[in-house]
Structure 1
Amino acid sequence: MESIIGIVCTTRQPEVATVVIETEPQQGSVPMRAKAAVDAAAIMSTLGGGDMLAASDTSAGPAAEMVTALVTAVA
């Protein structure tokens, strides 16, 4: 699934790409990739971490909670 992010990031439009991947029931991963204008590490700092162009989070809980946490981090 993370390869989807790579494909999205190669297009011109998006500055940031992320997906919520349920790896097991009640467990998931939220990888994020960004172009130079966006600091993925700053967005994901409360969720996981990483560097400016690539960051991620691994969480326990329903996918809906992961999406809510991601939206909160971006806002």
Structure 2
Amino acid sequence: MTATLIWPTNVTARFLTRTGLHLADTRATVDITDTNGRTIATCRPCGWTTDHDTAYRHQVLEKAQHHADGCTALPNPNA
């Protein structure tokens, strides 16, 4: 049985961080949002962020994946 995960509002893509992968913690993600002509990547555990015009979304996705591959921050258990 697979649990259904509800994504935060406006999140269009997610990358599981290194910590999330090792701990099987789905809160440890880099979330992608597309708002007002901008694509924004935000790491939920450490707060890292990057953004660019939506036309360059692929660059934001590449940076987000690269960050997620190496991020070892733990999610805030109280968040």
Higher radius of gyration, 1 or 2: 2
TM-score under structure 1 normalisation? Answer: 0.43
TM-score under structure 2 normalisation? Answer: 0.42
Specify which structure has the higher proportion of helix.
1
